[in-house]
Amino acid sequence: MPVGRLSISGYWRRGMDDEGWRSTKADWNHQVEAEETTAA
């Protein structure tokens, strides 16, 4: 399966419940993508 079609994450984060994580997940994903681009 192409990586672009995958979405895998824990349903919790320290100090957050599921809804808290969902509300910040998009920003976290953008940060990770930016770091990967910089590292490449």
Digit-coded pLDDT (tens) for 1-40: 898 888 777 767 788 888 888 888 889 889 999 999 998 7
Which candidate, 40, 13, 39, places its Cα nearest to that of 27? 13
CA 7 to CA 34: how far, in whole Å? 17
User: Pick from 22, 31, 17: which is nearest to 7 by CA?
Assistant: 22
Pairwise CA distance, residues 20 & 4, whole Å? 24
Q: Are 25 and 18 in contact (CB under 8 A)?
A: no
**pTM (predicted TM-score):** 0.58
Q: What is the pLDDT of residue 35?
A: 93
